[in-house]
Structure 1
Amino acid sequence: MTPVTIVGGGWAGLAAAVELTSHRIPVTVFEAAGQLGGRARTVEVNRYRIDNGQHLMLGAYHEMLRLMHIVGVNEEDVFDRLPLELFMTGLRTTPVRISLPRQPAPLHLVSGLYRATGIKFSEKMDLVRLCTSLLLRRDTTDRDISLAQWLEQHRQPDSLRQRLWEPLCLATMNTPLDEASTRLFLRVMRDVFTRQSRDADLLLTRRDLGAVFPEPAGRYVEAHGGTIRMKHRVNALRISEYAISAVSVAHQNVLSDHVILAVPPSTCHRLLAPHPILLPLAETIGAIPAAPICTIYIQYASGTTLGRPLIGLVDTTAQWMFDRARNGQAGLMAVVISGAGNHMDADKKTLAETVIREMALLFPHWPPPVDWHVIREKHATFVARPEVNAMRPANRTPVRGLWLAGDYTATGYPATLEGAIRSGIAAARGVMQESGAA
């Protein structure tokens, strides 16, 4: 069996590579960039080593944790695992705090909602009724609708929608409440809250994203006979009699009976479209809309702290802020703006100054910042609308031996790192089954 060719060294491609390597199937990974990790990678800016956007992992990310274990990463070395605490504050709202106790699921959620502060008793009852219906009776929707519609059907008041559901929706889906798929949101909520209480834990990175999975995964693959080719761009696919035969790299054909395309939708469209048998699939993938994420890193004096790992923001430009002290970066705050908006058109200096002014109003005792840096990822995720979720392709393609991997595929999850990893694993298992190696 020729090595399985994996195009793309992001989290999906590396998940496929690790899964295949762990079954003693040789792989060759081609990555166009000079480092692994894709959109969830580590970058160096001036004197900072920061992530290309702030990511939050949860205890429910079982496949991510499994692959980390395979490649030799101990959870305790890269994460602090803490019970879920949501603290939402804003310029014109009463702060909300929901903290989950160490109790069996889903009792921990109901108990945490009862004990929440900043929420009226009637609102707590609205939340408990909704969550009881969702978690215990497995409430489902026959037709996927927007999360805003679903919350209206379940009589959630505007105050909860603004202070709780909208920030949670943006954090989970990178899509506004009025557009987001209820089916995807409920899938995540059930995985997080219904199985075991540890699934709701926050996994807060103590290292940069590169050290969490991409770099150890690359070392694992190479240590077990695989090949990682950095700065190698795949320009074309070679198809013969409805089966993949090779990929073109630097004008040379690399023979392969099995290829996994683990690249962004735009790149995937470019590689698929020249082949008539793949054109309908290419057009579907090309029509999947993308949503941005903007992260403003603001450096304050080293003694500046949030007093907690992260907070949700209401009535401000941004929706979430993370204290990077756990990453050894005291005083560095990562402020996240999810989804599209005017912030994507503003120049970086204007955007940073706007966010810094808002932080000064929220935290008047903080000193002025000493530095800032803006990272915009224009194609961070797919837009998680119901109709877009229905468009997402399967891992298998009409061409024998050609597979897709990426968080945009039909994982049942929104565009998360766990979704990307699950997609890569599914593609790898498809290859093994097709080749008889399963």
Structure 2
Amino acid sequence: MAADEPVRRRIAVIGGGWAGLAAAAEATARGHEVTLFEMAPRLGGRARSLAAAEPGATPLDNGQHILIGAYTATLALMRSVGVDPDAVLLRMPLTLVDADGRGLRLGRGPVPIAFTRAVWAMAHWRWRERLALSNAALGWLLRGFRCDPTWTVARLTATLPERVRHEFVDPLCVAALNTPADAASATVFLRVLHDALFAGPGSSDLLVPRRPLAELLPEPAQAWLIGHGVKVHTARRVQHLQRSADGWTVDGEAFDRVVLACSASEAARLTADVAPAWSALAAAFGYEPIVTVYLHAPGARLVAPMVALAEGPQAPAQFAFDHGALGAAAGVFALVVSGAAPWVARGLEATCAAALAQAQTVLRGVDARGIAVMKVVAEKRATFRCVPGLDRPGASIAEGLVAAGDYVDGPYPATLEGAVRSGVAAAVGGLG
């Protein structure tokens, strides 16, 4: 072997979510021999499509996901496995409007300038409210989007008028961190704002799926991996991970390196004996659920493809999506309840009934009798609870054993971009 020829290693990737797919694709592209293990019947992890209700029907997803233009690693991964993001994602300027069409609409141009213009164009806000948000954003910029690491988002924005917090901060926080503002990390919130506003042109754009999640990455990635010689095992839960003289064994099969790209709880289980301190950190996360209520209302519409909803004691959802306006299935709507622990405690039947009543107040062109519930999806461990001072485990576990996932230590909350970046990093830096 030539001195500069890369070493070809046998790599096991445990977990077929977006982090695992990123790790497997990157390791394969670097010439390694890769085997992928996924415990579920389908790849995609928590961003996957569900089985279609009937043959030929468009499948629903396990939740409504959105991306932003700053998700450069995710978009690059999609392209690398043959997906055209422009074909499967609806790109639109950041828009945070209510059911009446009032709210923030960013125009084109440099995002800081566009953001300021959009704030001052919100005619239903008093001038003092617009000035307060503009001044707060300027203050965050001047401080480098940094704050006391112990602060919550509520503490960070405590001096803002109530309307600004209720209509802008709270929905943006729960959408980005899936953690209510009174508990969410202000440090992570500001990092998300920084990357959206200053990562370059188009970084703040919303990228909303117009096709099922399976078509965005899991299915094309599976085909690409198999086409490049990767062994893909679905419905296969790994039981044992052990050191060996030359590397690691996965259920008795020998590998040189292992990427743990499964959930934090699964990773904690598999490393309990080989890396107990790391395992304890991975097992210590608190979680926030997300509930998605899919509705069928032929002829109905929303004022925009995505609208922010007024959350309240009897109104659980913070956002509604019009799949028809996205270029997907007409007459299908998704109401999303993030940070849904209080509603999960009430029960899915009560949550569904409240979401249906909420939908009846915002869907246009149809009366209440024309709205039917298609499916309720509850992801009870949708994301880790992104609170101040959260101690997240690092990517390095042991020699030849690395972790990948949206929970691994890093600057982002539990997002697809965080998962993909961790997967790429595991393949680039952890498999040498």
1:28-43 mapped onto 2 (5 Å cutoff): 28-43=35-50
Q: 2: distance between equivalents of 1:332 and 1:15? A: 31
2:263 matches 1:264 = yes
1:43-62 mapped onto 2 (5 Å cutoff): 43-47=50-54, 48-62=58-72
Deviation at 1:56, TM superposition (A): 0.7
Normalised by the length of structure 2, the TM-score is 0.92
1:107 aligns with 113
Paired residues of 1:56 and 1:203 also in contact (CA < 8 A): yes
1:294 aligns with 291
Q: What one-letter code is carried by the residue in structure 1 that aligns with 2:417? A: E
Q: What one-letter code is carried by the residue in structure 2 that aligns with 1:382? A: F
Alpha-carbon RMSD: 1.8
Paired residues of 2:259 and 2:404 also in contact (CA < 8 A): yes
Work out the percentage of aligned pairs sharing the same amino acid: 35
2:134 matches 1:128 = yes
- Which digits, 9 at most, give the CA deviation of each residue in 1:326-362, with x for residues without a partner? 2521111110001143321344333222211122233
Q: 2: distance between equivalents of 1:188 and 1:377? A: 23
Paired residues of 1:244 and 1:258 also in contact (CA < 8 A): yes
Structure 1 190/32 Cα, relative in aligned 2: closer, same or farther at 3 Å? same
- Tell me, what secondary structure is at the counterpart of 1:412? coil
- Tell me, what secondary structure is at the counterpart of 1:165? helix
2:208 matches 1:212 = no
Q: Report the structure, 1 or 2, having the larger strand content.
A: 1
Structure 1 371/358 Cα, relative in aligned 2: closer, same or farther at 3 Å? closer
- Which digits, 9 at most, give the CA deviation of each residue in 1:274-310, with x for residues without a partner? 23xx111111111111111000001111x21113111
Paired residues of 1:106 and 1:196 also in contact (CA < 8 A): no
Deviation at 1:257, TM superposition (A): 1.3
2:382 aligns with 380
1:182-193 mapped onto 2 (5 Å cutoff): 182-193=186-197
1:201-350 mapped onto 2 (5 Å cutoff): 201-240=205-244, 244-248=247-251, 253-275=252-274, 278-301=275-298, 303-314=299-310, 315=312, 316-325=315-324, 326-350=326-350
Q: 2: distance between equivalents of 1:348 and 1:147? A: 28
2:43 matches 1:18 = no
Structure 1 247/87 Cα, relative in aligned 2: closer, same or farther at 3 Å? same
Q: 1: distance between equivalents of 2:32 and 2:123? A: 53
Q: 2: distance between equivalents of 1:341 and 1:95? A: 29
Q: 1: distance between equivalents of 2:327 and 2:221? A: 20
2:3 aligns with none
1:137-156 mapped onto 2 (5 Å cutoff): 137-152=143-158, 155-156=159-160
Q: 2: distance between equivalents of 1:41 and 1:195? A: 27
Q: 1: distance between equivalents of 2:33 and 2:430? A: 12
Q: 2: distance between equivalents of 1:412 and 1:164? A: 22
**Match of residue 80, structure 2, among 65, 70, 79:** 70
Deviation at 1:136, TM superposition (A): 4.8
- Which digits, 9 at most, give the CA deviation of each residue in 1:50-82, with x for residues without a partner? 110000111110000111111111122111211
Structure 1: runs of 5+ lacking an equivalent? none
Structure 1 197/136 Cα, relative in aligned 2: closer, same or farther at 3 Å? farther
Paired residues of 2:9 and 2:32 also in contact (CA < 8 A): no
Q: 1: distance between equivalents of 2:349 and 2:103? A: 32
Structure 1 306/26 Cα, relative in aligned 2: closer, same or farther at 3 Å? same
Structure 1 68/136 Cα, relative in aligned 2: closer, same or farther at 3 Å? farther
Deviation at 1:377, TM superposition (A): 0.4
2:403 aligns with 404
Q: 1: distance between equivalents of 2:142 and 2:75? A: 27
Q: What one-letter code is carried by the residue in structure 2 that aligns with 1:98? A: L
Q: 2: distance between equivalents of 1:289 and 1:110? A: 36
Q: 1: distance between equivalents of 2:40 and 2:327? A: 25
Paired residues of 2:184 and 2:387 also in contact (CA < 8 A): yes
2:172 matches 1:168 = yes
